[in-house]
């Protein structure tokens, strides 16, 4: 499975940004997709995940501001509203397959400025 993110960039605090992720390859085995982020000096952390059933899970820090959606079996988007300075990070898309195998994209940088 190959995973490719797009949509990062520079945005002012309070603004919006939309990230997209496309998985290719053996997508039939994908059971969940999600977004993680890593800020400088920090560990990679979960932002939001969505199961094949459509059930979504969010980090407390983004609840009410971010929305994850699954357009089809292999495409997910992350709508980010009311962005804060602390949302600045490299955002990584993840695809998880049967057997808990994780596949990662190379990441896309989101920078929120004041």
Return the pLDDT at 73.
Answer: 79
Residue-wise DSSP of 18-40: EEEEEEESSGGGEEEEEEEEE-T
What are the pLDDT digits (tens) for 58-78? Answer: 999 999 999 999 988 789 999
Q: Tell me which of 78 and 53 has the higher pLDDT.
A: 78
Asked whether the beta carbons of 3 and 23 are under 8 A apart, the reply is yes
The residue length of the chain stands at 114
pLDDT at 63: 98
Mean pLDDT score of the chain, rounded to an integer? 95
Per-residue confidence (pLDDT) for residue 27, from 0 to 100: 84
């Amino acid at each position: 499975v190959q995973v490719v993110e797009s949509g990062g960039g520079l945005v002012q605090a309070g603004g919006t940004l939309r990230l997209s992720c496309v998985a290719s390859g053996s997508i039939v085995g994908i059971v969940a997709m999600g977004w993680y982020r890593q800020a400088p000096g920090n560990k990679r952390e979960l932002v939001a995940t969505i199961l094949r059933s459509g059930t979504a899970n969010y980090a407390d820090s983004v609840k009410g501001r971010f929305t994850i959606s699954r357009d089809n079996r292999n495409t997910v988007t992350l709508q980010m509203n009311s962005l804060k300075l602390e949302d600045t990070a490299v955002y990584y898309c993840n695809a998880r397959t049967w057997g808990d195998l994780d596949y990662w994209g190379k990441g896309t940088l989101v920078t929120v400025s004041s």
